[in-house]
Structure 1
Amino acid sequence: MLHYRLDGPSHLPLLVFSNSLGTDMRVWEPLLPFLAGKYRFLRYDKRGHGLSDCPPAPYHIDDHIEDLIGLLDQLELSQVALCGLSVGGIIAQGVAARRPELVKELILCDTAHKIGPVHGWEDRITTIRDKGIDFIADAVMERWFAAEFRGQKPVELALWRNMLVRTPLEGYIGTCAAIRDADLSDSSARLTQPTLCVVGDQDGATPPALVQSTAALIPDSRFKVIKDAGHLPCVEQPAALAALILDFLHQHHPEPSRFDQGMQVRRAVLGNAHVDRANANKSAFDEPFQTFITEGAWGSVWSRPGLSKRDRSLLTIALMAALGHEEELAMHIRATRNTGASKAEVQETLLHLAVYAGVPFSNVAFRIAKEVYNELENQEEQ
């Protein structure tokens, strides 16, 4: 079983992250604020790492590739932008080659089609079996982070070191074996997705020349170097990495107009059937009003990342009830099927309404809510 998190409004394009050896999904946290509001995020702990299952070593790279394919299929996701770091980049290349319909763009950070000689991985596995991950941790930190980071941020360095040494031994060794045996030279040379290859200029694990060789292998890929970064630019230089990602993806995901974005959110909240009826009933007389609502309410406010759809749903229900807009109230209670606001949360919202807007408004809202929920439950039974 894989531990994962899916964050962000569902109408936004999706970025999927696959992390490096000895890290879990938290390695991406410094990067996400620079991308929030433009993308939603799927992060996961690969097998043997974080909170995911840790089967006995060794693993094969196909195990990791199939794990991510299984997760995307389980969540019914496709045409994603897939960003992989180190071994996560090998996994990303494998997924893109095996199931090209799942991956629209590739972002390969500090990775390659083949990483390191076989004997180097065998030596590491033997050392860790005998002496534990802590024995190699300081040497790994020198490859992960530039000298300036190590010197100026000792507290952060200690935290990332803790993440490494607390990786399950079987998970670390198993993934070392997967990297040892992985050679994606042939399949990566046939990739067709637009690809960005990025590397820190002080990466001691996958040096710039190695990452550039992968960029040269993948047709029409782009290669960029990030200054003052080691193996984890998402930690050391998140703003610089985010700028490269945004520039790359913007070429393939042009930002929608406010109307188009508003229509996406409107459909996501109210449902296609409701919006289709509204569009069918639209006339030249009320078309400017419908455009104003789509652009202003849905494209400007509901699209903002500061509140979730669930939060905005509950706020809207409270306001519609307090203002006595019964038709709109019923509509937004029906929309909770899409926003994720539960019946219990709506109940609490209407109870809170009685305190601050008055019992009569709350009483009417409870009546309408009961009618709507009865209607929805009857539809489910049919």
Structure 2
Amino acid sequence: MKLSLVQLAGAEGRPTLVVGPSLGTSVTALWSRAAAHLGERFHVVGWELPGHGSGTPVQDPFTIADLAAGVVEAVDRTLGAVTFGYAGDSVGGAVGLQLALDAPDRLTGAAVLCTGARIGSDRSWHERAARVRSMGTPAVVEMSAKRWFAPGFLEREPEAATALLRSLQDADRESYALVCEALAAFDIRGRLSAIGVPVLALGGSHDAATPAAVLREETAAVPGGRFVELDGVAHLAPAEAPRTVADLLTDFFVRVPARDPVHEAGMKVRRAVLGDAHVDRAIERTGDVTRDFQEFITRYAWGSVWTRPGLARRDRSIAVLTALVAGRHFEELEFHLRAALTNGLSREEIVEVLLQSAVYVGVPAANTAFGVAARVLAEG
């Protein structure tokens, strides 16, 4: 999907910050005031939804993952293959979560505002899509004004509110409806623990569309995720509280830890060998006591040893199985037996490894190991 990028603030050469819009808004109307502050530290560019602002209207369905891929393609086409910080509101925030899953190597961090891993319901999105296709986007202006802004904002900031509502009225009806349908299909609640980039989530205390309490709970499922609730803000935080949002984003992206390629390589191998489900469970159980240990084994065991070229992964599995039998670490043996199958060992070869262990480690240990192996191999 080809998306449009808009230059918002700051000079090239500064760290790149890509910002994303909410449904019904142009990225300029939503982000211009916050970008004026962010431009002091970042090169701020925004992307447009299809048929919104300067975005080209579309007729074919797409997904949130397609939008995320389109953001990366637009950055590559315009700025080159740079890494960038990302911040998005509502559907723009959903795209940020998708980017964190699909393109973590491109992100320095993701800030997601007034959004969720699942927004609304299938029925509500399809009903809205049908209404807009029939009557155009002006049909949802009144509803959006009530949901977008906290009490008093329209009176305090009529110019900003008018620009946002005008961008809604001007949006292409079919493109708007297709975004609704993309949101109807979006649900990554079960994948939040797999996010490996720093995440900051901002929720509005008056946000009925994506309640702060739900976003807080979802952020807790993201390893290292941080949540901040914004008082007096509803659904369009960058427009409602531009200075506060800019300050929080600046602090987050300036302080975000540098990328650790060894840790990233280790996590990739760890997932490939042990499986996503096993690693996700380990991450979910991580707390203050075990966090440093999880970082240690990912970086050193998986990132520094398992990535070495001297042995194939199947050979490393043979060494690991033997060592675990010798150390009588039978709980670890269970999931490393599954890993050995993943790494290409056959059932017959696993039996041979355990027989070899019986000779050089001891029959009692091998006897228990064979019991564990029988359960694992019976799984099919």
The TM-score with structure 2 as length reference comes to: 0.63
Q: Output the amino acid matched with 2:18.
A: V
Calculate the aligned-residue CA RMSD, in Å. 1.8
Aligned-pair identity in percent equals: 26
Per the TM alignment, residue 253 of structure 1 is displaced from its structure 2 partner at its CA by 6.7
Quote the residue 2:214 is aligned against. 210
Per the TM alignment, residue 186 of structure 1 is displaced from its structure 2 partner at its CA by 3.2
The partner residue of 1:24 within 23, 26, 49 is: 26
What does the per-residue CA deviation read over 1:280-305, in whole Å, with 9 as the maximum and x for residues that have no partner? xxxxxxxxxxxxxxxxxxxxxxxxxx
Change (3 A) 1:126 1:117: same
Q: Output the amino acid matched with 1:233.
A: A
Query: Does the residue aligned with 2:82 lie in a helix, a strand or coil?
Result: coil
Q: Output the amino acid matched with 1:167.
A: A
Matches within 5 A, 1:153-302: 153-252=157-256
Query: Does the residue aligned with 1:73 lie in a helix, a strand or coil?
Result: helix
CA distance in 1, matches of 2:222, 2:139: 36
Query: Does the residue aligned with 2:18 lie in a helix, a strand or coil?
Result: strand
Do structure 1's residue 60 and structure 2's residue 57 form an aligned pair?
no
CA distance in 2, matches of 1:221, 1:253: 13
Matches within 5 A, 1:45-84: 45-74=48-77, 75-84=79-88
Do structure 1's residue 139 and structure 2's residue 140 form an aligned pair?
no
Per the TM alignment, residue 155 of structure 1 is displaced from its structure 2 partner at its CA by 4.3
Per the TM alignment, residue 237 of structure 1 is displaced from its structure 2 partner at its CA by 0.8
CA distance in 2, matches of 1:62, 1:247: 28
CA distance in 2, matches of 1:161, 1:63: 26
Change (3 A) 1:65 1:156: closer
Per the TM alignment, residue 15 of structure 1 is displaced from its structure 2 partner at its CA by 0.7
CA distance in 2, matches of 1:153, 1:9: 28
Q: Output the amino acid matched with 1:4.
A: L
CA distance in 2, matches of 1:189, 1:84: 20
Query: Does the residue aligned with 2:33 lie in a helix, a strand or coil?
Result: coil
Stretches of 4+ moved more than 6 A in 1?
none
CA distance in 2, matches of 1:28, 1:77: 24
Per the TM alignment, residue 62 of structure 1 is displaced from its structure 2 partner at its CA by 2.4
Segment drifting more, 169-178 vs 78-87: 78-87
Quote the residue 2:311 is aligned against. none
Quote the residue 1:5 is aligned against. 6
CA distance in 1, matches of 2:76, 2:162: 37
Quote the residue 2:43 is aligned against. 40
The TM-score with structure 1 as length reference comes to: 0.63
Per the TM alignment, residue 64 of structure 1 is displaced from its structure 2 partner at its CA by 0.9
Q: Output the amino acid matched with 1:5.
A: V
Change (3 A) 1:71 1:148: same
Q: How many aligned residue pairs are there?
A: 254
Conserved 8 A contact 2:88-2:113: yes
Query: Does the residue aligned with 1:197 lie in a helix, a strand or coil?
Result: strand
Conserved 8 A contact 1:83-1:92: yes
Quote the residue 1:14 is aligned against. 16
Per the TM alignment, residue 129 of structure 1 is displaced from its structure 2 partner at its CA by 2.2
Change (3 A) 1:4 1:235: same
Query: Does the residue aligned with 1:130 lie in a helix, a strand or coil?
Result: helix
What does the per-residue CA deviation read over 1:187-213, in whole Å, with 9 as the maximum and x for residues that have no partner? 332111111000111112111112112
Per the TM alignment, residue 163 of structure 1 is displaced from its structure 2 partner at its CA by 0.9
Conserved 8 A contact 1:48-1:174: no
Change (3 A) 1:138 1:233: same
CA distance in 1, matches of 2:184, 2:157: 32
What does the per-residue CA deviation read over 1:342-369, in whole Å, with 9 as the maximum and x for residues that have no partner? xxxxxxxxxxxxxxxxxxxxxxxxxxxx
Query: Does the residue aligned with 1:229 lie in a helix, a strand or coil?
Result: coil
Structure 2 unmatched ranges of 5 or more: 259-380
Quote the residue 2:299 is aligned against. none
Segment drifting more, 127-136 vs 104-113: 127-136
What does the per-residue CA deviation read over 1:128-161, in whole Å, with 9 as the maximum and x for residues that have no partner? 2222221221111111101111233344423321
Quote the residue 2:263 is aligned against. none
CA distance in 1, matches of 2:25, 2:116: 18
What does the per-residue CA deviation read over 1:150-190, in whole Å, with 9 as the maximum and x for residues that have no partner? 23334442332111111110110010000010112233321
CA distance in 1, matches of 2:113, 2:95: 12
Segment drifting more, 112-121 vs 9-18: 9-18
CA distance in 1, matches of 2:82, 2:100: 11
